[in-house]
Structure 1
Amino acid sequence: MTTNPQQRVVIVTGTSQGIGHAIAKTFLDNGDIVIGCAFSTLEKASQAQQMLADYPQQFHYHSVDVTQTTQIKQFVAGVAEQFGRIDVVVSNAGKNVFKGIDCEESDWAHNFDLNLRSHWYLAKCARPALEKSRGVILVITSNHAFSTMPGCAPYNISKRALLSLVQSLTIEWGPAIRTVGIAPGFIDTAGNQAWFDAHPDAIIAREKTVRKHPVGRIGRPEEVGELCLFLASGKAGFIAGTTIVMDGGRSAIMQDEDDE
């Protein structure tokens, strides 16, 4: 497929909902071509269906299980063959595996396949195309990489490891490929709402969480999208090998008022 030289070809994983959906939409609104994927089939991904309707010439969707390296390899090869280039990879797919440090071995393995290995392997498969375009890799990690809560292992452990992945990709593949990490905190997604709903009173749980953020609210998915758009641009060309925390100032607090 011939693309407009002004249009970038952008891969975004985990686009069926939440942050991934918002990231994809941000790049689409910028005029880029976005090839999204998620575990869900298109029939079960209503937000992806809507993006296909709204951006029929720009958005493409594939069902990919990123815990399966063969599927990642086929997906990336298909994108490179169809479009002839890859300019940006936003490695976003993942989920909360909150099982605690005494989790079963199967939970541990699934978490690291999904929340760590998939990011490494996606970057590895996209490397040849990104080197040709002098492209950008954005790795979505979490503020759990820096500090966490009881019961959030092994998720937080894999998210911490992504900080090192970002560093290694930068120093070993630069300057041809620039890599940056993004660590969102509480973002208003269905996943975070499920966490609130797990409390006896979801409204009170949300209000308490909001009060712990100096900006007075939790984040919006589209804000993560806007940060991705900036970091993938030439304006951010000197930002590499680091992970940017966007958590509304939550990590700046040493002690919560409720704990005093």
Structure 2
Amino acid sequence: MKTQQSARVVIVTGTSQGIGQAIAQTFLNNGDIVIGCAFSALEKAPNARKMLGEYPDRYFYFSVDVTKTESIKQFVIDAEKLFGRIDVVISNAGKNVFKGIDCEESDWSHNFDLNLRSHWFLAKCARPALRKSNGVIIVITSNHAFSTMPGCAPYNISKRALLSLVQSLTIEWGPEIRTVGIAPGFIDTDGNQVWFDSHADGKMAREKTIKKHPVGRIGRSDEVGDLCLFLSSDKAGFIAGTTIVMDGGRSAIMQDEEDA
């Protein structure tokens, strides 16, 4: 087990559930220190409370609205104060804003504040600390950045823009800071289970989704965590400025058979 002196200090946004929680758990299992945040207050974040109980000296939680730049700025200040440094930033917070291209202006603005601007501003605030540590930024986007479906705008548009953010952070802040993106596909989370359950036959909806993946299953949150752990390590030191698709081969399919 690493000591607090040797452990890295890792910021992870959106740690109250789903992929963010799994990423936090992966780094904690690795012996690192995780400073997490999510929109939910601690009393409404049971997963965060559980990790606080299990890792009282290595997990810290803040309630942060990442659509508010002042909240992000204060979070980074508070996070750096805890241990005097930041080594890794996993910019994960976001949500599906599936309103269609004819969405209201308020939906458009909320989507870009949450799913694009927050990632840029978090990186901007963490930059001074990351320069000192020769740190790593990992931006979590989506396979919707590469191909999408009707009704998924404006979400997919912001996710596409994150590909360019990863590139710009790499070429303008390197070599002191290395930046990589991850584009997960269908990951088995509580949120996606809600989507399955919204169908008349939730089991059938899950089975149909699984069949659309060449690997024969949908992804697990811990697999995203494992990829984050690798990409933040020295073993991935030559990987920068690119976004890795992690979707079980879903995007390799030109056309679904049922749509042919």
**TM-score if structure 1 supplies the norm length?**
0.98
Amino acid at match of 1:46: P
Amino acid at match of 2:182: I
Q: CA deviation at 1:224?
A: 0.2
Q: CA deviation at 1:200?
A: 2.3
Q: CA deviation at 1:78?
A: 1.1
SS of the aligned residue for 2:125 comes to: helix
Q: Quick check: 1:55 aligned with 2:55?
A: yes
Q: Determine the structure 1 residue equivalent to 2:230.
A: 230
Q: Which runs of 5+ in 2 are unaligned?
A: none
Q: CA deviation at 1:5?
A: 2.9
SS of the aligned residue for 1:199 comes to: coil
Please identify, of 32-41 and 185-194, the stretch whose mean Cα deviation from structure 2 is larger: 185-194
Deviation digits for residues 84-137 of structure 1, max 9, x if unmatched?
A: 100000000000001111000000000000000000000000000000000000
Q: Determine the structure 1 residue equivalent to 2:72.
A: 72
Residues of 2 paired with 1:4 and 1:52: CA distance?
16
Q: Determine the structure 2 residue equivalent to 1:45.
A: 45
Give structure 1 regions of 4+ aligned residues with deviation exceeding 3 angstroms. Answer: none
SS of the aligned residue for 1:168 comes to: helix
Instruction: Within 5 Å, give how 1:136-155 maps onto structure 2.
Output: 136-155=136-155
Q: Determine the structure 1 residue equivalent to 2:14.
A: 14
Q: Quick check: 1:122 aligned with 2:105?
A: no
Q: Determine the structure 2 residue equivalent to 1:196.
A: 196
SS of the aligned residue for 2:130 comes to: helix
Residues of 2 paired with 1:143 and 1:64: CA distance?
26
| Identity score, percent | 80
RMSD: 0.8
Residues of 2 paired with 1:196 and 1:244: CA distance?
26
SS of the aligned residue for 1:200 comes to: coil
Residues of 1 paired with 2:255 and 2:79: CA distance?
47
Amino acid at match of 1:86: I
Amino acid at match of 1:129: A
SS of the aligned residue for 1:61 comes to: strand
Q: Determine the structure 1 residue equivalent to 2:220.
A: 220
Residues of 1 paired with 2:160 and 2:211: CA distance?
26
Residues of 2 paired with 1:147 and 1:69: CA distance?
29
Please identify, of 212-221 and 192-201, the stretch whose mean Cα deviation from structure 2 is larger: 192-201
Instruction: Within 5 Å, give how 1:234-249 maps onto structure 2.
Output: 234-249=234-249
Amino acid at match of 1:22: A
Q: CA deviation at 1:37?
A: 0.1
Q: Determine the structure 1 residue equivalent to 2:251.
A: 251
SS of the aligned residue for 2:214 comes to: coil
Q: CA deviation at 1:198?
A: 2.5
Residues of 2 paired with 1:57 and 1:170: CA distance?
32
Q: CA deviation at 1:79?
A: 1.2
Residues of 2 paired with 1:176 and 1:56: CA distance?
31
Residues of 1 paired with 2:203 and 2:152: CA distance?
21
- Report the count of equivalent residues: 258
**8 Å Cα contact 2:8/2:87 also seen in 1:** yes
SS of the aligned residue for 1:126 comes to: helix
Q: CA deviation at 1:201?
A: 1.7
Residues of 1 paired with 2:83 and 2:75: CA distance?
12
Q: CA deviation at 1:139?
A: 0.2
SS of the aligned residue for 1:101 comes to: coil
SS of the aligned residue for 1:10 comes to: strand
Residues of 1 paired with 2:196 and 2:27: CA distance?
29
Amino acid at match of 1:103: C
Q: Quick check: 1:108 aligned with 2:119?
A: no
